[in-house]
Amino acid sequence: MLAAAQRLRRSTDFAAAVRGGRRAGRGAVVVHLNVPATTDPSTPTSPEPARNTGAEQPSASTRAGFVVSKAVGNAVVRNRVRRRLRALVRERLTALPAGSTLVVRALPAAAEASYPRLAADLDAAIAAARSPRERRSR
């Protein structure tokens, strides 16, 4: 199980990760990864302290949240998918940059997917979300 400091709980946290993060879907999952912007030491900063407005303040811990809708299946199936995804993400959180926010959304195919298949899909989706964005021609 994920520690309390590693879990997303509020809908505002989920919304911030989904809106501000990079999305990548592979197989049975879609991930939204929001990596905090790194500050460049060469950029000048204001001598005044930053004001805390209560909005999205980056923390040192990487956090994860899960979205498993009713389209995946009944409550038993959804909880099984959520437990599997939670176990898989727990192993992978240390590889993400500090302060990152990860939202994993299960697609209906996740109900039938095996544990190794979920692991492969999750790894591929996280790798795609972390890779630099490439230009696509339309």
- Supply the pLDDT for residue 94: 86
- Supply the pLDDT for residue 30: 93
d(CA 40, CA 74): 48
- Supply the pLDDT for residue 135: 55
pLDDT tens digits for 81-96? 999 999 999 998 888 8
The whole model's pTM is what?
0.77
- Supply the pLDDT for residue 55: 44
- Supply the pLDDT for residue 52: 44
CB 101 within 8 A of CB 8: yes
- Supply the pLDDT for residue 49: 47
Query: 109-136 burial, b for 16+ CB within 10 Å, e for fewer?
Result: ebbebeeeebbebbebbbeebbeeeeee
Q: Which domains does the chain have, with CATH numbers?
A: 4-34+62-130 (3.30.230.10)
Q: Which regions in the chain score pLDDT beneath 70?
A: 38-60, 133-138
